[in-house]
Amino acid sequence: MAAVSAAAALMGVHLAAAEGPVRDWTYLGVLVGSAIAALLGSRRGGFGTMSRLIALGVTISAAGDATWQVLAWTSGTEPTVSVADVLWLGSYVAIAGGLLRTPQGEGRIDRDGVVDIAVLFLVALLVQWELAFDKIATDAAVPVGERLVLALYPTFDAALLALVVRAAFTRRLQGWLAVLLGGGTACWLLSDFGYTLFATEGTLAVWLNVGWMLGSILLAATTWYPRSVPAMHATAAASAARGTKNGGIAVALVPLLVPGAIAVVGQVRGDPANPYLLYAVTVMLVALAFTRGARILRAEAEARAAVKSQARYSRAVAVNSSDAFVVLDANGIIINDASQLEALMGRAESTTVGEASLQLVEPMDRDDARAVFERCLTTDGQTFETELRVRHSSGRQLWLSARMVNLTHDPDVRGAVVNLHDISDRKRAEAELSHQAFHDGLTDLANRALFTNRVEHALRRKARSGLDVAVIFLDLDGFKTVNDSLGHGAGDELLKEVATRLTQAVRPADTVARLGGDEFAILIEQSHNPVEESEGVAERILQSLSLPIELATQSVTVSASFGIAAGDENSTAGSMLRDADVAMYRAKTAGRACWVIYDPDMGTAAVERLQIENDLLGALAAGQLALVYQPIVRLESEEIVGFEALLRWHHPTFGLIAPDRFIPIAEETGLIIPIGRWVLDEACATSARWHRDHPEHHKLSMAVNVSGRQIASPDFVAHVQTALAESGIEADTLVLEMTETALIRETVVATARLRELSALGVRLAIDDFGTGYSSLSYLRQFPVDILKIDRSFVSAITDPTQVPAIVRGLLDLGHTLGLEMIAEGVELGFQRDQLRSENCDLAQGFLFSRPLDPTDAERLLTQLRPGSGNATAGVAAVGSPVAGAAPVVNTSR
C-alpha cells in the first residue's frame, strides 16, 4: 500500500513540475520502482513464467527509459533512435510472452489462437498505418534506419493489442488480473500511439509519460496477484467454451469490415487510402477468416462425433453391466428405453417402455417401493434408496438396489430417475452368513444361539397359550471312542448321521440343535404333556440309534443318555438347558442309554459333581490318587496267585471318594488317559518290587483295569510295552482287565488292540462278564485269557446246596473256551465252596481279604510261601475284612 502511495505521489509531482530535472527524475523513479516491484513480485511465485516475463518486460522498459535519459543528459538533445529503442522493443517481446502464458492458457498455444492473433494483428497494424505511420514510413527526409525502427513500434503495438483482445475474447484473463494486465498493456499502447501522433506537443507529452508510468505500475502489480483462483467450475468452463466459440466467430468475421471502413473514411476526408494495401490486407483477412471458420466447423464436427462415440460407449457399457436405469413419469410408468433392465431380467424379446414399474416388483415389496416412489416425487433433488425383488424370466428371484431421484423439473429428463443394481449375490451371501450364525456348520442343525432364542420364544408363547414346554438334553454314549480311534473324519460322519436320525424322530414343529461336540438338545413345545412327549422322543431316538451306523471304514453303534426338563413360570432358556444337562449326567451315571427327568434335588448333586470334576484335574499332580491291592486266590488251594490294583482318591474335602463317583467323570473328560498311564506304571513298578524282594512269588500276577478310551488310544500298546520294559516284569504276569461294553463299542479297533497286546505276552481279562453282551461270537473274536464273573452273579449264590443256573452256565462257557475263570465279590464261605465245586479257578473278595495298601500287601507276601496251604491264615492276619464293611467297588470303569 505504501508503494502505491509513493508512486501516486511521484506521478502527481511529475504532472505539476515544469519541464526539467524534477520531471525527469520523477518519471525515472516511477519506472525503476515499478521494475523493482515487478522483480520482487515474480519471486513470490504468482503465475510462474507469466509473472517472470512481465517483470522482465517492465525492467527492460525501465532500463530503456534510463538509457534514453542518460543519452539526453549527456548529449544535450533528445535522441531520435538509439540503443534505448532496442530495450523498449525488447520489453514488448517480454510482455507478449507473458500474455501468451496467461493462467487459463499456460502451456497451450493452439492453432486457433495463432489465427486469431494474426487477424487482430493485421487489423491493428492497418489502422495504425493509415492513421500515422504511412507518412513516417514514406518520408524521404527521415533516414531509412530510423524509419525502420519507427515502423517496428506500430508492428509490436499491433501484436500486443492482438494478444490482449484474444485473451479477452477467450476469457483467459479473468477478474482483477484481467484489469491489471489488460490495463497496463493498453496504457503502454495508447502512449506509444499518442507519441507517434503528438510527440512534438509538450503538454500532451506529460500525459503520455503518465500513461507509460501507469502501465508499468499496473503490469508490475500483476506479478503480486495471488494465484488462488481454483479450477473453473463446470458452469464457468461451459461459459468459457461458449465465449471461445463466439469470440472465434467474431474475430474471424468482424475484421473483414475494417478495410472497407478505412476506405470510406478516406473518401469522406478527401484523403483516399492506398487501395493496394487495403486489397492485400482484405485478401489476407479473408484467408484467415476462412481458415478460422473451417477450424470452427471441424471442431464442431469432432465434438459431435465425440458425443456420439460417448453415447455408443455408454450404451455398450450399460448393456454389459449389472446396472440399469429407468425414467418414470409421475404415475410410475417407464418412459425411457430401459434395455439394461430388460437384459437384467432376461426379457430380450420384450420391451419395458410404457410398462408400470410396480408390476415388475414382487408383490411382497410393492408397498415399500410405492411409498419410496411417492416420497421421491414430493422432494426434488434428494436421493432415496430401497431394496426390492423382481422375477427373472427364468423364474429365479433377483434382488435389486434402487436409488431414486426426482428430476421431473429437468427439461432434459422430465421424470424420476431410478438407478438399479443387481445385489442378488450379496443377498445370498448375507443369507448364508445369517444361516451360519444360527446353525451348526457340520450338521446344519440349529446351534446354541438359535436354540436358546427358540426356547425363549416358546416360553413366552406358553404364557399366552398355556401349552407346556420341555427341553431334552442328550449326549452320545461312545462317541469319544469313535473319534479317538477312527479319527475326526469318522466322528463327523457319525454326528451327521445322528443329526439325521434325531430330526426324523421329532415332530416338524420341534427344534433339534447341536450344542457342541456330541451334545444335542431338542425343544418340545406346544404340548399338553411335554414330559410324556419327551419320553416318547427319547424312546424313538434310542430305537433309531440301535441300528448300526455305516461309516467309511466300518460299522459302529452308539447310544445316548437323555436329560428332560419341563418348563414352568420361572423357567428361562438358560435354566432349562442347565436342568436338562444335570438330568442327562444323572442318566449317564445310572447306566447310560436311558433318560432321567429333572428333579430339583439333582441340583445339589450337580454342584458336587462339578466340584469333583474340577478337583480331579489336579488330583494326580497333588498326589491324592493311590492304589490298593486286593489278593486273588486259587480256590483249590486258597493260595494267593496275584493282586488286582484298585484306584482310590483321597479328596481333601470329601475324604475317600469311591471309584464309581469319579471314574465316569474321568472317562468323559479324557482324564482317564493320564490317570490310566499312572495306574499302569505304578502297578508294574510295585509288581517288579515284589518280585525282586520276594523271589519266591516271582509268578504273582498284577491285574490292572483299563477303559475303553485307553484301548481306543493309538499309543496305548506302546505305553504298555514301555511300562513292561521300564519295570522289568515278565509280560505274562501283567493282566489287563476291560469290560465287555468297552470292547463291543468299537469291535474292529478293540480286536486290533487286543491282538497287539496279546502278541506282547500280556494276559487279557474281560471284567464283569455276564452284565454286558456275553456273546459267544465276541468271545471267540477277542484273544482273551480270563473271564471274571461279576459280583452280582456271585451274590446270587444264597443256597449252600445249590449253584444258580446262570453261574453254572457262565463257568461252563468259560471252561468250554479254555479260559481261566475268576469270581468277584466272594464274601461267604458257602459261596466259595459252591464255586469250588463247580471248578471255578480263582476268586477274590472280602472273604479272603479287603484291598490292601502296598505296605500291608507286602507284609502279607512276607508271611506267605507258595504252596504252603496257609494262605487263608496269612490273609486273616493281615487283610481280614472289617466287620460289617460294605464291598469295595471295583475301578474297572
Closest CA to 544 of 488, 643, 474: 474
Contacts of 247 (CB under 8 A, 6+ apart): 116, 169, 170
Residue 146 has pLDDT above 60, yes or no: yes
- SS3 (DSSP) at 275: helix
Residue 46's pLDDT is 60
Residue 321 has φ and ψ, to the nearest 5°, of -115, 170
Instruction: Say which residue, 139 or 63, is predicted with more confidence.
Output: 63
Confidence class for position 198, pLDDT limits 50, 70, 90: low
What does the H/E/C string look like for 723-756? Answer: HHHHHCCCHHHEEEEEEHHHHHHCHHHHHHHHHH
∠ CA 461-467-472 to the nearest 5 degrees? 90
Torsion region of 171: left, alpha or beta (phi above 0 gives left; psi -120 to 50 gives alpha):
left
Q: Residue 827: its pLDDT value, please?
A: 94
3-state class (DSSP) for residue 6: helix
pLDDT at 673: 93
Share of the chain above pLDDT 90, in %: 27
Beta bridge partners of 763: 735
pLDDT value for 140: 61
Q: What is the pLDDT of residue 830?
A: 94
Range in 74-83, 214-223, 253-262, 813-822 the model is least confident about: 253-262
Give the model confidence (pLDDT) of 784-814 as tens digits: 999 999 888 999 999 888 889 989 988 998 8
- Is the pLDDT score of 750 beyond 80? yes
User: What's the mean pLDDT when you consider all of the chain?
Assistant: 81
Angle at 419 between CA 414 and CA 420, to 5 degrees: 140
* Lowest mean pLDDT segment, chosen from 121-135, 359-373, 501-515: 121-135
For residue 278, give the nearest of 296, 290, 264, 289 by alpha carbon. 264
Contact 501, 440 (CB under 8 A): no
Rg (CA), the chain: 57
| Whether residue 255 has pLDDT greater than 70 | yes
Q: What is the mean pLDDT of residues 164-172?
A: 66
Half-sphere exposure of 224 toward its Cβ, with a 13 Å CA cutoff?
A: 16
Residue 130 makes CB contacts below 8 A (sequence gap 6+) with: 262, 266, 273
Q: How confident is the model at residue 88 (pLDDT cuts 50, 70, 90)?
A: confident
Predicted confidence (pLDDT) per residue in 441-450, tens digit? 899 999 999 9
Please give the pLDDT value at position 141: 63
Question: What proportions of the chain, in percent to the nearest 5, are helix, strand and coil?
Answer: 60, 15, 25
> Residue 825 has what DSSP assignment?
-
**For residue range 396-406, what is the model confidence (pLDDT) as tens digits?**
888 998 999 98
pLDDT the model gives residue 275 = 74
Above 80 in pLDDT, residue 76? no
What CA–CA distance (Å, rounded) separates 150 from 199? 13
Q: Which residue has the higher pLDDT, 380 or 202?
A: 380
Of the two residues 158 and 889, the one the predictor is more confident about is 158
Q: Looking at 7-11, 275-279, 748-752, which range is the least confident one?
A: 275-279
Pick the closest to residue 375 from 352, 340, 402, 351 (CA basis).
Answer: 402
Residue-wise pLDDT tens digits, 388-438 = 999 888 888 889 989 999 888 888 788 888 988 888 888 888 888 878 888
Mean local confidence (pLDDT), 734-740: 90
Whether the predicted pLDDT of 84 surpasses 60: yes
Contacts 24+ apart (CB under 8 A), 751-758: 751/781, 751/782, 753/711, 753/712, 753/716, 753/717, 754/711, 754/782, 754/783, 754/784, 755/783, 756/717, 757/717, 757/720, 758/783
Strands in 423-543 per DSSP E: 468-477, 511-516, 519-527
Q: What is the pLDDT of residue 52?
A: 84
Cα–Cα distance measured from residue 677 to residue 629, given in angstroms and rounded to the nearest whole number: 17
Residue 868 pLDDT exceeds 70: no
Q: For the segment 824-854, what is each residue's pLDDT rounded down to a tens digit?
A: 999 999 999 999 999 999 999 999 999 999 9
183: pLDDT strictly greater than 90: no
CA dist., res. 375 & res. 183, Å (int): 55
What does the block give as the cell for 765? 481279562
Query: What whole-number distance in Å separates Cα of residue 184 and Cα of residue 211?
Result: 9
Q: Over 50: is that where the pLDDT of 886 sits?
A: no
Q: What is the pLDDT of residue 700?
A: 93
SS3 state of residue 657: strand
DSSP 592-641: SSSEEE--TTHHHHHHHHHHHHHHHHHHTTTT-EEEEEEEEEETTT--EE
Res 274: pLDDT: 66
Q: Is the pLDDT of residue 543 over 90?
A: yes
Q: What is the pLDDT of residue 869?
A: 47
Most confident of 131-145, 150-164, 656-670: 656-670
> Which range has the worst mean pLDDT, 116-130, 282-296, 359-373, 544-558?
116-130
**Which has more pLDDT, 766 or 206?**
766
Range of lowest pLDDT (317-331, 463-477, 706-720):
317-331
Q: What is the pLDDT of residue 131?
A: 60
User: pLDDT for 693-709, tens place per residue?
Assistant: 998 888 899 999 998 88
The position carrying cell 494326580 is 620
pLDDT for 380 equals: 81
The pLDDT of residue 490 is 87
Give 471 or 70, the one with higher predicted confidence.
Answer: 471
What's the rounded mean pLDDT across residues 181-195? 79
CA distance 861 to 600: 51
Q: How far apart are CA 764 and CA 443, in angstroms?
A: 39
Neighbours of 89 (CB within 10 A): 17
Are the C-beta atoms of residues 494 and 578 closer than 8 Å to each other?
no
Closest CA to 764 of 704, 818, 681, 718: 704
Return d(Cα 83, Cα 656) in angstroms, integer: 126
Here the cell at position 346 is 432376461
